[in-house]
Copies of this chain bind each other. A is one copy, B any other.
Amino acid sequence: MTEYMVRPIGVVRSALKDPADAPKQGALTGQEAEIVVDPAYLPALEGLDPGRGKIIVMCWMHRADRDRLKVHPRGQEDRPERGVFSTRSPHRPNPISLHTVTLRSIEGNVLRVRGMDAIDGTPVVDIKSHSPELDG
């Protein structure tokens, strides 16, 4: 099948520096982070509004193992392995992560968000509006 090239549109800036520090499903901890968007994509941010609810951020988990097809859920080795497509493990053939976060503020090309568990330096590949109807 044809392959496609993902071009990061920004990067995560976070106090989480190491995968070992990142809480599993850390969205639930309310971790704050910044999404620094490449200024070339500034027009694509128009319409994003901290008053309009949550947004979806997709990242490329650049440290993931793309060859892993089975994992212990949440890294707990006492739990039986499962196929990665039945989990939220970062390890998967195309390591695209999905973060439903609260948009706190936008200043220029910097989005401040809450509920982001990606580590500092993670490439961001997409931002979308969140819809409770479509995504809940």
- A residues near B (Cβ < 8 Å) are 1-9, 11, 25, 27-28, 38, 41, 43-49, 56, 58, 60, 62, 69-70, 82-88, 92-94, 96, 98, 100, 123, 125-129, 131-136
- CB-nearest residue of chain B relative to A136? B136
Instruction: Flag if A5 contacts B5 (CB, 8 Å).
Output: yes
Chain B residue numbers with a CB within 8 Å of A60 are: 4
- CB-nearest residue of chain B relative to A61? B4
Q: Contacts A1-B7, A2-B123, A45-B86 given; 12 further ones with Cβ under 8 A?
A: A5-B6, A27-B134, A28-B133, A43-B69, A46-B70, A46-B82, A47-B85, A48-B85, A48-B86, A49-B86, A85-B128, A98-B128
The oligomer's copy count stands at: 2
How far, in angstroms, from A33 to B86 measured CA to CA in the complex? Answer: 19
Contact status of A94 and B7, CB under 8 A, knowing A44-B84, A69-B43: yes
Chain B residue numbers with a CB within 8 Å of A3 are: 5-8
Question: CB < 8 Å: which of B4, B41, B129, B136 contacts A86?
Answer: B129
Instruction: Flag if A41 contacts B7 (CB, 8 Å).
Output: no
